[in-house]
Structure 1
Amino acid sequence: MVSGRSHCESCHVPLSARDLIPILSYAAQKGRCRHCKSRITPDHLWIELAALTVPAMALLTRVIAGHFQDLPFRLADWDALSFVGDCILGWGLLALSVIDLTCLRLPDMLTLPLLLMGLVEGYATAGTDGVLDRALGSAAGWLIFALIAAGYRMIRHRQGLGGGDVKLLAMGGAWVGLGALPVVIGAGSALGIVLALATAMRSGRFNMTILVPFGPCLAAAIWLARLMLCRS
């Protein structure tokens, strides 16, 4: 993403702009590389389709929130800024989830800029009070997971919660604020338990050493908290 251009995974030829149009390029090339005709992994298409749902979900929750608050729906200036923030957060969480599922990593080059963007968006939409709440949420998120990770290492003598997860919760706090943090932690933990049980059932090994990516579970909880709680 930073040091090199996108390229075909088979022939390694750099892709041009017309090869990188989401969904349309895949459809036009019938799922194959334009140069070597190798099959393009369908995962790319599914990720692009998932990215389309991000603005749709953000817009839908705004319409629903406006309906229940008896407000006419209109995208005012501050609404537009917050909506853009919803999309940036959603796309960032999607990218982080895919990376964690693929290689069990949550890169700082995505997490930390998103954390800063959350604080900036909080100030832009709610002023000093907003950025203070976001900053407290970020600090509390980092502290809670850092203490849990340290306690687990002390008791079990091995790592149970990665440093990327700690930073991801801190980033989530910068977008949803301090008040929504308990919901994020609870929902993320519940999703993590479900994922661990599903992984254990598939592998046939029911023990405490099963390694599962917690990032997607936490990302889903952050996204839901942002859409649901931050609209009330």
Structure 2
Amino acid sequence: MGAFAVALTALRDEAGAAGGMRRTCDAANISRSTYYAWLSGKQLPGRDVLEIVVKAWGGNVAEWIKLRRETEEQLAEGPDEEPMGGESELFQKKFKNAVYNSHAEFSGDHAARLRECAVFLRLLGLNQVSDRRMLVVLSLLMLGPATPWQDAGRPVLRVSEIMQWISDVYGRKYRSNSREVIREDIKILMGDGLVRLRASNRDLGPKEEARYQADLAMYRYARGFDDRTSLR
């Protein structure tokens, strides 16, 4: 089913704004977790809802219904015997433009993790991924350079704690006046449904910061990400 998911993700990318998570979920009346499950290859879309989504994304409905039927028949015959490495090659070809290439300050495991994160965010619908935004995502998932994706965490963090974690784990130091820039990245991630506000300033004292947490669906998606593709 991995090939179906790769093809579906390609169609989503070609659809532009119409392929966004919120618009798709509203049009097809599906949850975020279902949207992510389709693109990760964990779930095959139903025929009726696939027709709605393919139309919204500008695809050929007849071709996609045929592809779905063929994929369903393959699943009925038994597990796909294709090694994971084959799927990894497909992902690397499809998402090569999303790979983080300007990592002059990073090398080794640090750079490899950023390349993985770029693909991870592309799969979730974020096509413009800066190093700073990727580091924010990694902090909210507690993913250091060598931490397996399946060991991702879901802490509740203030902006200051996010900045400190990035400094301690990845060596990227931000000045205190960079907080607003980090907050803007968080707002974008919140707008895409990937991050949640756990405690706003209204709920806290005058000197306390708002707290943020990875969305549950993104967290679950991250914990399975390493099983789908390896870019190291």
Structure 2 length-normalised TM: 0.28
Structure 1 length-normalised TM: 0.28
- Per chain length, whose mean CA-contact separation is higher, i.e. which structure has more relative contact order (CA < 8 Å, sep 6+)? 2
Which has the larger Rg? 1
More helix by proportion, 1 or 2?
Answer: 1
